[in-house]
Amino acid sequence: MARPSTPKLPVSQTLISEVLQRVSNAKTKNEKIQILHQYRSEALTKVLLCNFARSVSFVFPAGKTPYTATERPKGIGHQVLFREHRMIEKFIKKVINGVAYFGCSNGPRPNIQQLKKEGMWIQLLEELHPDEAEIMDLIKDKSLTNRYKITKQNVIDAFPELRLQDEYDPTPVPVPQSTASDPTSKPPVKRARRRTTTKKKATTS
């Protein structure tokens, strides 16, 4: 007997963490894509873009942010990413043709001081539901897949308009077969060619 499906909540009342958990629980690729389509929102696509786009990065150091998570239950006295996703622009930069553009200024120079950004970042995490605050800290380090079973290809298939498929993914340089087959082998040493000289025979008179 098939298990009953989880009822779908309105997008505006669903935490991004709940959407990602449903995607993570899906058994097939098509199910994952279908769930992403059902809960499509600007907040969801922005979270996924920040995590998977090579050209987007946060302006904070890697590692867990020291903040105090709210203890309020869902729907009571906390902010949600569905409404607060615009704040993300203040904390990211995008590299285009080798030039870094800061999201909130759309220019090569930030219009908010770094110290102030750090304070705003901690404040946002402390105001969000704990599960969504955790997501923000994960995408800061592009480690969303450490918590949820969702791949970059899932996002490409669900939202091709994000253009993640156009990003250049460098391929490793192949190792020569001779070196790869025998790690102890050394490259052949080229010996210098010995120059030969011809001696003139002595002439007799």
pLDDT score recorded for residue 27: 95
Alpha carbon distance 33, 9 (integer Å): 17
Residues 9-47 have pLDDT tens digits of: 789 889 999 999 999 999 999 999 999 999 999 999 999
Helix ranges, 159-199 (H): 177-181
pLDDT for residue 65 is more than 60: yes
Q: Does any domain span residue 104?
A: yes
pLDDT at 191: 54
Any domain includes 140: yes
Query: What is the mean predicted confidence (pLDDT) over 196-203?
Result: 48
Q: The pTM is what? A: 0.76
Secondary structure string (H, E, C) spanning 120-158: HHHHHHHHECHHHHHHHHHHHCCCHHHCCCCCHHHHHHH
User: What's the CA gap between 112 and 115, in Å, rounded?
Assistant: 9
- Range scoring the smallest mean pLDDT among 10-14, 36-40, 139-143, 172-176: 172-176
Query: What backbone phi and psi angles, to 5 degrees, belong to 10?
Result: -55, 145
Among 139, 140, 147, 99, CA closest to 118: 140
- What range does the domain containing 66 cover? 11-168
pLDDT at 71: 81
Cα 58 to Cα 125: distance, rounded to the nearest angstrom:
14
Confidence of residue 125 (pLDDT cuts 50, 70, 90): very high
Task: Note the pLDDT of residue 203.
Answer: 47
Q: How many domains does the chain have?
A: 1
- 54 domain-assigned: yes
Domain-embedded: residue 21: yes
Q: Please enumerate in sequence order all residues whose Cβ is within 8 A of that of 57, keeping only pairs 6 or more positions apart, or say none.
A: 92, 93, 95, 142
Q: How far apart are CA 118 and CA 61, in angstroms?
A: 10
What is the sign of the dihedral through the CA atoms of 138, 142, 145 and 151?
A: positive
The answer as to whether 190 is a domain residue is no
Reply yes or no on whether the pLDDT at 199 is more than 70. Answer: no
pLDDT at 4 over 60: no
Domain membership flag for residue 195: no
